[in-house]
Structure 1
Amino acid sequence: MSQSVSFASYRAALSTPAARLPVLAALLGRLPVAMVGLALMLYVRHATGSFASAGLVSAGALTGAAIGSVLQGRLVDRFGPTRPLLTAAALLTLFTTLGVTAVESGAPVWLLMVIALALGVSQPSVSSSSRSLWSRLLPPGPARQAAYSYEAISMEVFFILGPAIAGLLMALPWPGTGVVIGAGSMVIGAVGFALTPAVRAWRERTEPRAGQGLLAVLTPAMRTVALAAFGFGVTIGFVEIAVPAAATMAGYPSSVGGLLLSLWSVSSVVAGLLYGLRPVPRPMYLRLPVLLAAFSLLLLLLVWQTSLAGLAIALLVVGTLITPQATAHSIAVDEVAPAGSSTEAFGWVITSVTLGLAAGQSVSGQLIELSGPPLAFAAATVAGLLIAGGVWLRRRTVRDALPAVSPADCAVADLAPARG
């Protein structure tokens, strides 16, 4: 059963001697995670004058990232992170160069989409590798869970900084600067991470693992975790389109929508730290559906806002349940993933979130055209609750995969979800 963490747990995890260099390198490698896609979209929009073309190219990169996270995860589990990350860094350098050349030469959109797909696949999977490294550096317990919470919180920080940096770099004379700097940061961070002593000591896996097919890691419990992650992505995707649309329809520039979205990331970071001290509900198999359902219900606050000030306050409230969900997904993978496949399993979580984002964004745009942002916010609540219901119906698959939970604990937890 999942344990509470304290601030001492965070300190113990991050001060682990072998973790210091990988943590620093991973920061550089993951900083552009929310920057490259936006920078690419703005770059293509500037070159083609078409948001439709820019959206297609951005979708190609998003799809590639979803595929690459799983493929690279499997390679990392098999060979360790060093060789896969170095190979991915080299490929990312190549495809970034090809992409910039294609944009500058006025290549057709279909070619830009193909290159963007390859660019997304080749983005080094530093996040999955960094998250899996903690299971090798720390024993099970509060310190390891604090490390997973740190991973989720740091990603939220990057989602705040990345778009802001991409927007600032667009003010420079050459609009492709953000793409090059973002890809360069990924490459340098991935190479630095891959060559740290702790990562290089991660040898090839020699122990057998259950199943060899690409879907073998998706056990019943992992499918439930992936479903929860998909629901998380769907709800976020609805809001990421509806908030900028609300700002634009109110007569403000689209950049204001980006600033509004950064508010829920700020509250998410703070709430994530506090939630880890006393997570409710404590059993992971209950936490997954309850957090998604609670988050979906909070989204109703966005439906009733008629001013940007009210929308900003509502986003601060809604954001409090973002990082707790991301942390729960990460801890759940550690508890239910098949032996020897934790990196690939976490790759499936990233893929599920990414596909959910794409689905939510596409439907949200259609609903906004039909009736406006309030309908999109309401649809996000409905979709989130429906998926949370599916996760709830499958909760026992996660419970049965938790080796640390005794039958007595499960019975008590079923009767009193808020208790451990």
Structure 2
Amino acid sequence: MLGGVPASPSDYRAALGAPGAAAPVCASLIGRFPIAMHSLATLLYVREIEGSYAIAGAVSAALLVGTAVGTVVQGRLLDRLGPSRPLLLIVAAYAVAVAGIVTCIELRAALPVVLLAGLVTGSVTPAIEGSSRALWSDLVPAGRTREAAYTYEAISLETFFILGPALAALLAVGTPWPGTALLVAALAEITGTTWFALTRAVRRRSARIRASRTSGAPAGDTGLLGVIRRPGLRTVALAALGFGLVAGTAEVGVLAATASAGSPAMGGILLSAWSVVSVLAGVLYGLRPRPRSLGLRLPVLLGGFGLLVTAMGLVSPIGSLVLLAVVMMAAGALITPQVTAHSLGVEHTAPADSATEAFNWVVTAAVLGVSAGQAVSGVLIDRFGPVGFAAGGMLGTLVAVLLWTRRATMAPIVECEPAGSAR
């Protein structure tokens, strides 16, 4: 697929039907689904309690900043110790932290206290996205089947980034308690991560990693920054940051635009439709040949996405939800190609023994982008109305220009196959 060869339906069946894949795939579906629910669920929860998008955006941003830092630290830890035991400890800490932030919000604690609770909760949110992706090197051989597996990971993650916020919005608006969405997200995270950590494939990978470290095998990229020191991976992370910035802006902006038009429930419906369009576009994208150069693909896709979300913001004051929906669906068609390119970019630029950390850096960049997009759009919407979220699309377009200047950094690394891997 990096070379432009399309995946076929049989490649996807071979990946998902590989021996030992069923349990971790199902578990990771549950555990990864809330990745984009947490921030918006928290934002809407605090917005209902405090009555301010600015305060809600600040708390949501604190949660996402904590998630960003925790994801990187967890990625390196899971690469060194294996995913099984550390994930179980992280899940326990996360359950306590969620109880703490809900208590702070319900008691209307001082803003610094709630911000600290959000930061802590985010830092211990289980980061199984990188482990789920890295596990495929143990389950399927290198080639089209593994690339189909990575595309599946990208499509599913993109679905979670779009469908998760839609569900969060529907639960926050349609249930008596505004914290319902946050509770649902937490329960899914705890259940899915615990199951994932206990599956045979994950425990076997953990045992192999521990044995490798015990035997004195190199620990991959070291130092404070670890694998992110690689220029190509920094380019992929920058693309993910820009994507998150634009997507986070659009999520809050669409909800504000539909509320301003007198149909607040339509926000969740439009986000759900956005998910459907993006998934369909992702399937079609995976079935067709693509240009070889990720260095070209990343800026072009992000630039188009940013321009279309800018257009969404500019048409919002018109009050026509039909026009907003048309532009929004066009933007949605560019989501999965970007997330797929990010996933392939990790394969393209990072060594296998740092795969979890590398992918978690990319997830972290996306989460930071979503955080910034939600926070900035919240402030601008409070000040200027729904049109304010057009600024996020413009910022994403500027990031695309920067990506264009870094396209030469996407030359692939060359490494030997690790012993004991299906790679």
Normalization by structure 1: what TM-score?
0.87
Report the Cα distance in structure 2 between the residues aligned to 1:360 and 1:160, rounded to whole angstroms.
14
Q: Which amino acid aligns with 1:243?
A: V
Match among 60, 82, 90 for residue 80 of structure 1: 82
Q: Which amino acid aligns with 2:298?
A: L
Q: Which amino acid aligns with 1:196?
A: T
Report the Cα distance in structure 2 between the residues aligned to 1:235 and 1:165, rounded to whole angstroms.
19
* Superposition CA RMSD, Å: 2.5
- 1:339-386 deviation digits (Å, cap 9, x = unpaired): 411111111111111222233334434554565545643x44543332
Task: Tell me the residue number matched to 2:297.
Answer: 287
Q: For 2:292, what is the secondary structure of its paired residue? A: coil
Report the Cα distance in structure 1 between the residues aligned to 2:108 and 2:384, rounded to whole angstroms.
36
Match among 341, 366, 370 for residue 328 of structure 1: 341
Q: Which amino acid aligns with 1:223?
A: R
Checking the alignment, whether the CA contact within 8 Å between 1:288 and 1:328 is kept in structure 2 is yes
Report the Cα distance in structure 1 between the residues aligned to 2:195 and 2:284, rounded to whole angstroms.
31
Segment drifting more, 190-199 vs 44-53: 44-53
Match among 223, 239, 244 for residue 213 of structure 1: 223
Task: Tell me the residue number matched to 1:410.
Answer: none
Segment drifting more, 230-239 vs 42-51: 42-51
Matches within 5 A, 1:266-277: 266-277=276-287
CA 230–366 in structure 1, closer or farther in 2 if over 3 Å, else same: same
Q: Which amino acid aligns with 1:267?
A: V
CA 361–174 in structure 1, closer or farther in 2 if over 3 Å, else same: closer
Task: Tell me the residue number matched to 2:263.
Answer: 252
Task: Tell me the residue number matched to 2:419.
Answer: none
Residue 346, structure 1, aligned to residue 359, structure 2:
yes
List alignment gaps of at least 5 residues for structure 1: 405-420
Checking the alignment, whether the CA contact within 8 Å between 2:154 and 2:339 is kept in structure 1 is yes
Segment drifting more, 12-21 vs 271-280: 271-280
Matches within 5 A, 1:17-166: 17-166=19-168
- 1:81-113 deviation digits (Å, cap 9, x = unpaired): 101210110001111222233334443222222
Checking the alignment, whether the CA contact within 8 Å between 2:84 and 2:202 is kept in structure 1 is yes
Residue 263, structure 1, aligned to residue 273, structure 2:
yes
Q: For 2:226, what is the secondary structure of its paired residue? A: coil
- 1:172-192 deviation digits (Å, cap 9, x = unpaired): 454444333321221111110
Residue 241, structure 1, aligned to residue 252, structure 2:
yes
Q: For 2:333, what is the secondary structure of its paired residue? A: helix
CA 41–295 in structure 1, closer or farther in 2 if over 3 Å, else same: closer
Report the Cα distance in structure 2 between the residues aligned to 1:217 and 1:309, rounded to whole angstroms.
45
Report the Cα distance in structure 2 between the residues aligned to 1:144 and 1:81, rounded to whole angstroms.
20
CA 279–242 in structure 1, closer or farther in 2 if over 3 Å, else same: farther
Q: Which amino acid aligns with 1:295?
A: F
Task: Tell me the residue number matched to 1:390.
Answer: 402
CA 21–159 in structure 1, closer or farther in 2 if over 3 Å, else same: same
Q: For 2:142, what is the secondary structure of its paired residue? A: coil
Task: Tell me the residue number matched to 2:194.
Answer: 191
Deviation at 1:35, TM superposition (A): 2.6
Q: Which amino acid aligns with 1:246?
A: A
CA 199–56 in structure 1, closer or farther in 2 if over 3 Å, else same: same
Report the Cα distance in structure 2 between the residues aligned to 1:372 and 1:129, rounded to whole angstroms.
40
Checking the alignment, whether the CA contact within 8 Å between 1:266 and 1:316 is kept in structure 2 is no
CA 163–286 in structure 1, closer or farther in 2 if over 3 Å, else same: closer
List alignment gaps of at least 5 residues for structure 2: 417-423
Report the Cα distance in structure 2 between the residues aligned to 1:373 and 1:48, rounded to whole angstroms.
20
- 1:193-230 deviation digits (Å, cap 9, x = unpaired): 00101000113252314441231211111111111111
Segment drifting more, 240-249 vs 55-64: 240-249
Checking the alignment, whether the CA contact within 8 Å between 1:209 and 1:338 is kept in structure 2 is no
Task: Tell me the residue number matched to 2:181.
Answer: 178
Report the Cα distance in structure 2 between the residues aligned to 1:178 and 1:251, rounded to whole angstroms.
23
Count of equivalent residues: 402
CA 85–175 in structure 1, closer or farther in 2 if over 3 Å, else same: same
Q: For 2:223, what is the secondary structure of its paired residue? A: coil
Segment drifting more, 33-42 vs 367-376: 367-376
Task: Tell me the residue number matched to 1:16.
Answer: 18
Report the Cα distance in structure 2 between the residues aligned to 1:382 and 1:55, rounded to whole angstroms.
20
Checking the alignment, whether the CA contact within 8 Å between 2:76 and 2:354 is kept in structure 1 is yes
Report the Cα distance in structure 2 between the residues aligned to 1:80 and 1:63, rounded to whole angstroms.
24
Q: For 1:397, what is the secondary structure of its paired residue? A: helix
Deviation at 1:66, TM superposition (A): 1.0
Deviation at 1:301, TM superposition (A): 4.6
Deviation at 1:318, TM superposition (A): 1.2
CA 161–111 in structure 1, closer or farther in 2 if over 3 Å, else same: same
- 1:258-304 deviation digits (Å, cap 9, x = unpaired): 32233222211001111112243232232222222232344455335
Report the Cα distance in structure 2 between the residues aligned to 1:276 and 1:399, rounded to whole angstroms.
22
